[in-house]
Chains A and B, each alone.
Chain A
């Protein structure tokens, strides 16, 4: 069972205090978008073996959503950061690169 640190309230807590929300940094496609865009938004997920960015909500705590960079194989947590961003912060990207040189980077 994972432990995560909520960047919004600073609490480090076990997984049962959080709610997992799937892949992070999805781009919403609304009315007028092409079928392929809508499909990508709604259904296509990376599901990587390795570095992954995901959504978590501190549901039994401050109630805030945040994002986590995590290795789905080793379960190593590279970092957590507030949800109000379209891409992972530079320092987290740098940390992942140093720990996983083979990582292709955030796309």
Chain B
């Protein structure tokens, strides 16, 4: 179905003191349940372990991010999500757990460059010096909810609701605009 499917802001990109880009289609599945009880099914299907609180685990093209004490977000290729949802359902049959594909409910942006913290500090009430690769922090960016996944020393992925993708792109771009470097984080 990928020829029919488009992400929220295909190709959107802004270069400032950090680079902001829409990440394209991303498969996402919400899994709710007792994280201990779903661990085996999760690792059987995704190859990923259950992440510790506010952490991300990864295996190949799949990753799992901790969302709340009874919820994780599985990240996978967009066209793999429906089948993965089905396999998870089967693996969790009989357990009190809920699986739902949410790939299209969100938009994903990457913010790259060594000064990504300086850009995000203008939007999120978060001490970014406490975050490193493998961390996830759910917060707000200006007026909307955002999940920030630190994927490398110089890259984060920011997930927001799809409907506010343009708003998120606009505020990220203005936060990263050249000339506005706050020189806050070393």
Contacts and interface: CB of A to CB of B under 8 A. Distances in A.
| Interface of A: prevailing SS | loop
Interface in A1-28: 8-11, 13-14, 16-17
Contacts of A61: 138-139
B68 interface: yes
Size class of A's contact patch? 10 to 19
Interface residues of B, number: 13
A10 B125 contact: no
B53 interface: yes
A62 interface: yes
Contact of A9 (B69, B125, B145): B69
A11 B68 contact: no
A13 B69 CA distance: 17
Interface of B: 53-54, 67-69, 71, 125-126, 137-140, 145
Interface of A: 8-11, 13-14, 16-17, 60-64
8 nearest A-B residue pairs (beta carbon): A62-B68, A60-B140, A61-B138, A14-B125, A60-B145, A8-B69, A63-B68, A60-B139
Given A9-B53, A13-B126, A63-B68, 19 more contacts: A8-B68, A9-B68, A9-B69, A10-B53, A10-B54, A11-B54, A11-B137, A13-B139, A14-B125, A17-B125, A17-B139, A17-B140, A60-B138, A60-B139, A60-B140, A60-B145, A61-B139, A62-B69, A63-B67
